[in-house]
Copies of this chain bind each other. A is one copy, B any other.
Amino acid sequence: MDLSQLTDRINTGLAQLRYGEEPAALYEPIRYIMALGGKRIRPLLTLLGAYVFTDELEPALKPALATEVFHNFTLLHDDLMDQAPLRRGQATVHEKWNPNVAILSGDVMLVRAYELFLDVPAELLPHVLRRFSQTAAEVCEGQQWDMNFETETEVSIEQYLDMIRLKTAVLLGFALELGALLGGASRQDADHLRQFGVGIGVAFQLRDDLLDVYGDVATFGKRVGGDILSDKKTYLLLTAQAQANEAQRAVLAQHIGQPVPDADAKVQAVRAIYDELEIRPQTEALINDYFLDALQHLERVAAPETRKKPLHQLALQLMEREQ
């Protein structure tokens, strides 16, 4: 099972999708955002989820692509809501065109994502679409919580973890569950794969939060300290705020939610508190908990180790992005 070959197959499949032609302002943005690239992790998970149970991966391809189209739909609308100017170094759709084009072409992407499921065998289709719809609603819930948290003063660590589960992890879980179902898995095994994906997803997002503070710019690819500068209530900040003594709390209050005269000074001051409170090892321990818990679900899937190995490898690969 060669992951890069599988990614090539996914990219070929994506390139062959036809979203529509006219009006161009509706369909051109879809081709644009889909062509920005990305690691195609969700369709990869679907295909590897199917591979656990079958060698016939072709029937899983179109549904796998559906998860990627849906994911890019969420990016398109999220970028608009977050007023993000760039996505993978290129202008976002609402910047390149305008907000209305972003709204409407996003809407059509969601429709096209549903369409890509419609070749799923009739006996599986209602269940697959129920699970997809539930997942899609949860992803929207996660985005709404994320936006709410920007202005809420009291966000608990539990609420934050639930937000990243909804916004990021449940779709990874669904992508795996989908592959399992299409590969002929039992509902129970499909659910174990789903839980494996959710766990990996939360761990992956926590690692992303950690790299935002402690990562190497070259490998992380984003400016380090971005979350601190934007006062984002991540696991790191919420944990620091919960564990800080009075003096540390005062330093945090002096920087978080305040105007930033000196960006580097802010990042350094907040990171110093994180260091004092040992936020990094605490976060790494939590990531490890999620990761090990996820692996237990993978182990419980009733299939030979050799069939599960590519998934195990991909999970390791995702978690070790700094190495």
Which chain B residues lie closer than 8 Å to A85 at the CB level? none
Identical copies in the complex:
2
Which chain B residues lie closer than 8 Å to A147 at the CB level? 25, 100, 104
A131–B275 Cα gap in the complex (Å)? 57
Q: Mark A75-102, 1 if CB is under 8 A from B, else 0.
A: 0010011000000000000000001110
Which chain B residues lie closer than 8 Å to A129 at the CB level? 114-115, 118, 129
Which of A77, A80, A106, A141 has the largest count of B CB atoms less than 10 A from its CB?
Answer: A141
A25–B146 Cα gap in the complex (Å)? 12
CB A205 to nearest CB in B, in angstroms, measures 19
Closest to A74 in B: B107
Give the contact stretch, choosing among A34-42, A119-127, A277-285: A119-127
A111–B106 Cα gap in the complex (Å)? 13
- Contact yes or no, A141 B26, CB < 8 A: yes
A17 within 8 A of B: no
Which chain B residues lie closer than 8 Å to A115 at the CB level? 129-130, 133
A314 within 8 A of B: no
- Contact yes or no, A141 B22, CB < 8 A: yes
A148–B101 Cα gap in the complex (Å)? 10
A137 within 8 A of B: yes
A→B interface (CB under 8 Å):
20, 22-23, 25-26, 77, 80-81, 99-101, 103-104, 106-108, 110-112, 114-115, 118-119, 122-123, 125-126, 129-130, 133, 136-137, 140-141, 143-145, 147-148
A136–B145 Cα gap in the complex (Å)? 28
8 Å CB contact of A133 from B103, B111, B126: B111
Which chain B residues lie closer than 8 Å to A114 at the CB level? 114, 129, 133
Which of A22, A99, A118, A140 has the largest count of B CB atoms less than 10 A from its CB?
Answer: A140
Q: A111-B110, A114-B129, A137-B112 are in contact. Are A23 and B103 (CB under 8 A)?
A: no
Which of A111, A112, A115, A145 has the largest count of B CB atoms less than 10 A from its CB?
Answer: A111
CB A160 to nearest CB in B, in angstroms, measures 14
- Contact yes or no, B77 A137, CB < 8 A: no
List 29 A-B residue pairs with CB atoms under 8 Å apart, sorted by A's residue number: A22-B141, A23-B141, A23-B144, A23-B145, A25-B147, A25-B148, A26-B140, A26-B141, A80-B103, A81-B104, A99-B99, A101-B144, A104-B140, A104-B143, A104-B147, A106-B107, A108-B137, A111-B133, A111-B136, A111-B140, A112-B133, A114-B129, A114-B133, A115-B130, A118-B126, A119-B126, A122-B122, A122-B123, A122-B126
A22–B144 Cα gap in the complex (Å)? 9
Which chain B residues lie closer than 8 Å to A143 at the CB level? 104
Which chain B residues lie closer than 8 Å to A145 at the CB level? 23
A280–B136 Cα gap in the complex (Å)? 48
CB A41 to nearest CB in B, in angstroms, measures 22
Which chain B residues lie closer than 8 Å to A136 at the CB level? 108, 111
Q: A118-B129, A123-B122, A133-B115 are in contact. Are A20 and B100 (CB under 8 A)?
A: no
A111–B147 Cα gap in the complex (Å)? 20
Q: A103-B103, A118-B126, A122-B123 are in contact. Are A144 and B25 (CB under 8 A)?
A: yes
